[in-house]
Amino acid sequence: MIQLDRSTGKWLLISVAFSLIVLAVVLLFTINDQTLASLQKINPIFLVLAFVAHIFTLCFWAWRVQLMTRSLGYRIGFFYSLNLVFANLLAAAVTPAQAGGEPVRIHELYKADVPLGDATAIVIMERVLDGVVLVILAAFAMLALDREWKSLGATSGLIMYITLIFIAGCLVLFIVFATRPQILKRAMVWGAKFFTKHWEPARFEELVVQIDKEVDNFHGALKKFVHSAKGGLLWGMFFTLLYWVSECVTASLILVGLGQPPLFFESFVINLILAILMMLPLTPGSSGIAEVGATSMYALFIPSAILGIFVVIWRLVLYYFNIALGIISSILIVRREATAGKPPL
């Protein structure tokens, strides 16, 4: 669980510093004589709507967690689920490849009396649904933009196809682990050996027993999703679709606010590629990577005079606003932990 301590603050500063440096460089290379004229066309109403759309995006995520959890027989309130999502945002901002978000969500589900294996299954299934929906939306967008996409050159198409293959590979790996729990157990024990080389044998054996137990719980939860909890998967797919559509609409609202035409279909493709790039464990919260990736890809569709301004506002909505929400949420969770109170339903 992410705590508001010196270590968290240090990594948050590093993450923000990477982001600010890259944004400054982007502005330096994109601002030109036409930028001032473009800024005079700004419509603040659409920029406010971008923030509103992002809030709805996070609400869709919270509903997804809540209903998938309920389908397994556990009840959490919407606001508890929303606070869980907010806390996830801060953890993602201070960990490489945003990897800290998943453990936070699992922790918060566990604190709401969801067994660890079931909580893990819910969080992993979320990621699987993200991958499925993003591939579907990106494939649809590529078909809808076939002529425009081909006009961008072979390199853009190659990047897209590599991204689709990577996502498909991850889904295949998940299917193997989901249908063959023994393979997953062996993989986790192998990973545990790598990170516990200096442990005593008895302690390591206890860990192996725990791994065996939690993998069985995880596999059982997946079986529930496939058989008795299909409604959770359907609701999960529905809200995942709303989540990504809303996320892409946010970018288009910013563009309209800057006097540019919306890029609905293009944003689906760009978001898929960014999702893969931000998995690279290079910087805390993938800061810098997101800015460079978005700049290079949106540059194919947006005039240079407005590109840097767009990326700055886009990160303000999707990154800095997330950090603020995450800090507030983490303070609430720390207070709850300090009083050892049960999370409200």
pLDDT tens digits for the chain (345 residues)?
555 566 677 888 888 888 999 999 999 988 888 888 778 888 999 999 999 999 999 999 999 999 999 988 899 999 999 999 999 998 888 887 666 788 889 989 999 988 887 888 888 889 888 878 877 877 777 676 666 555 555 555 666 677 667 777 777 887 887 788 888 888 888 877 777 777 778 888 887 888 787 777 777 767 777 776 778 889 999 999 999 999 989 999 999 999 899 988 888 878 877 877 777 767 777 788 889 989 988 988 899 889 999 999 999 999 999 999 999 998 888 888 777 655 544
Q: Is 23 part of any domain?
A: no
The structure tokens 């923000």 sit at 16
Q: What pLDDT does 68 receive?
A: 93
Cα dihedral across residues 251, 254, 255, 261: positive or negative: positive
Q: Residue 77 is part of which domain span?
A: 60-339
Q: What is the pLDDT of residue 251?
A: 93
Distances (CA, A) of 175 to 69, 124, 172: 21, 12, 5
In a domain, 26, yes or no: no
Residue 314 lies in a domain: yes
The number of folded domains in the chain is 1
Phi, psi of 96 (to 5 degrees): -55, 140
Cα distance between residue 56 and residue 226, in whole Å: 28
Q: Output DSSP code: residue 227.
A: T
1 domain residue, yes or no: no
DSSP 284: B
- By CB atoms closer than 10 A (0-12, 13-18, 19+), residue 277 is buried
**Among all chains, which residue has been given the structure tokens 């990160």?**
315
Q: Is 41 a domain residue?
A: no
The answer to whether position 333 is within a domain reads yes
Q: How far is CA 186 from CA 103, 128, 173, 183, 249, in A?
A: 21, 21, 14, 5, 42
181 falls within a domain: yes
Task: Bin 153: left if φ > 0, else alpha if -120 < ψ < 50, else beta.
Answer: left
Place of tokens 């407005």: 306
**Residue holding tokens 């425009």?**
148
**247 domain-assigned:** yes
